[in-house]
């Protein structure tokens, strides 16, 4: 049993066409997510993820909830207090307007199991969110809400684990995994990047693995461009977006240097982080063991 329970975010997802390069699909990613979730839950940790329960395509969400029912550690379960959502084993972050598909009944059914946190786009009046919106405005607010969700979850979790993830066509301003990694790095939060399941995480992992590697060209704003949404941006806003992307590259470059030159990065052993980076490492057991080991060490601090 660990000394203290961590809140650990599991970020995965992806696209079958992109994952096909590895000979795998979303089925494999979901299986890995659930295996990892089971291990971390049974070690007494709490889990966080972004996803929408009401979306029938989100089979993963249902599986994680199912895992929490079956795999939560006995001690952790005994500490669950229905009046204190921060004791519940799962936290689900859901951004506007996806969260509309989560019904009150679903939320009520999962009291004591899953704390649903709904995130609105910042600085937008509630009335506007309720009313009809121009398509460009709506898409933009969705992207803003996703960014806000990633910032909030990064601030709240103790550790983030990322693997797979969509490269092109994400709903946010940039690929979701990339934005989550950047949010974590900005806050100097521990993050484990697993390259072995392809997708966006693999691109980042390949870059971090090799000090001489060039920035992966596929990771750019154009990969997630939406002409209707992007037409609503002012020149200044476009500049800010480009600056954010530039900042992402800087942070990952700094992170890469740290991984290869320092013993620890954000309180985690660089050796362990480097072990799960390579895209050739598809050994799920080893990866899960490394994640569990890192979580255990962090919880003992």
Partner 1 sequence: MPSPVSIYVVHHLKSKVATKLASDLFDWFRLSLLTENQSNAGLPVYFRRRIVEARLQPDISFSDSDLNIVVLLVDQEMVGDIDWRTALVRFAKSARTWNKKHVGKNRVQILPIAMHEGLYRIPEVYENFNPIRSLDMPLDQMTAFLRRAVIEAAARFVRADNSDVTPPLNVFLSHAKRDGRQIAEYIRDSVRSFGQMVAWYDANDLPYGGKWKSEMMKSARTDTAAMVATVTDTYPSRQWCRREATEARTPVRLNRAINRPGIWKVQPVVGIYNLGNLWTRPMPMLEGVPRIGWDAMEPRKTTERLVDRLALEVMLGLVHRKVAVSIARKQTKRTDICYLTWVPDTWTLSKLRQIMLAGKEDVAKIRYIVYPGYGLAKTELSELDSVVQSFHRDSQLVSFEEAMSW
Residues that bind partner 1 (CB under 8 A): 16-17, 20-25, 27-28, 30-31, 34-35, 38, 42, 59, 62-63, 66, 70-71, 73-74, 285
Q: Would the CA dihedral through 252, 253, 255, 259 be positive or negative? A: positive
Contact present, 117 and 66 (Cβ < 8 Å): no
Residue 78 makes CB contacts below 8 A (sequence gap 6+) with none
Q: For partner 1, give the closer residue by CB, 16 or 243.
A: 16
Q: For partner 1, give the closer residue by CB, 35 or 244.
A: 35
Nearest approach, Cβ of residue 256 and partner 1 (Å): 26
Nearest approach, Cβ of residue 221 and partner 1 (Å): 25
Q: For partner 1, give the closer residue by CB, 285 or 301.
A: 285
Contact present, 176 and 49 (Cβ < 8 Å): no
Nearest approach, Cβ of residue 276 and partner 1 (Å): 16
Q: For partner 1, give the closer residue by CB, 25 or 112.
A: 25
Q: For partner 1, give the closer residue by CB, 22 or 201.
A: 22
Q: CB pairs under 8 A, 24+ apart, for 178-184?
A: 178/204, 178/219, 178/248, 179/146, 179/147, 179/150, 179/248, 180/9, 180/11, 180/150, 180/153, 180/154, 181/252, 182/244, 182/247, 182/248, 182/251, 182/252, 183/150, 183/151, 183/153, 183/154, 184/154, 184/160
Nearest approach, Cβ of residue 31 and partner 1 (Å): 6
Nearest approach, Cβ of residue 99 and partner 1 (Å): 23
Q: What is the DSSP letter of 79?
A: T
Nearest approach, Cβ of residue 180 and partner 1 (Å): 24
Q: For partner 1, give the closer residue by CB, 1 or 228.
A: 1
């Amino acid at each position: 049993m660990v000394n203290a329970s961590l809140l650990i975010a599991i970020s995965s997802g992806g696209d079958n066409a992109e994952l096909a390069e590895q000979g795998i699909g979303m089925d494999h990613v979901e299986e890995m997510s659930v295996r990892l979730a089971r291990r971390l839950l049974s070690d007494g940790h709490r889990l966080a993820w972004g996803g929408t329960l009401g979306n029938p395509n989100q089979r993963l969400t249902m599986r994680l909830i199912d895992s929490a029912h079956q795999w939560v550690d006995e001690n952790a379960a005994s500490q669950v207090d229905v009046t204190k959502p921060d004791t519940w084993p799962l936290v689900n972050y859901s951004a506007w307007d996806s969260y509309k598909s989560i019904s009150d009944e679903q939320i009520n059914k999962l009291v004591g199991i899953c704390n649903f946190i709904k995130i609105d786009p910042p600085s937008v009046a509630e009335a506007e969110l309720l009313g009809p919106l121009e398509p460009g405005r709506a898409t933009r607010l969705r992207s803003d809400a996703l960014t806000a969700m990633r910032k909030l979850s990064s601030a709240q979790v103790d550790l983030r684990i990322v693997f797979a993830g969509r490269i092109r066509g994400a709903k946010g301003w940039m690929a979701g995994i990339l934005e989550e990694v950047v949010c974590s790095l900005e806050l100097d939060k521990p993050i484990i990047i697993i390259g072995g399941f392809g997708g966006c995480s693999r691109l980042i992992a390949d870059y971090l693995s090799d000090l001489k590697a060039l920035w992966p060209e596929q990771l750019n704003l154009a990969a997630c461009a939406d002409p209707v949404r992007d037409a609503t941006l002012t020149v200044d806003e476009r500049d800010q977006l480009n600056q954010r992307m530039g900042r992402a590259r800087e942070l990952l470059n700094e992170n890469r240097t740290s991984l290869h030159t320092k013993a620890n990065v954000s309180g985690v052993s660089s050796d362990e982080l480097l072990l799960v980076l390579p895209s050739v490492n598809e050994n799920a057991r080893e990866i899960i063991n490394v994640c569990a080991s890192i979580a255990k060490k962090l919880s003992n601090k």
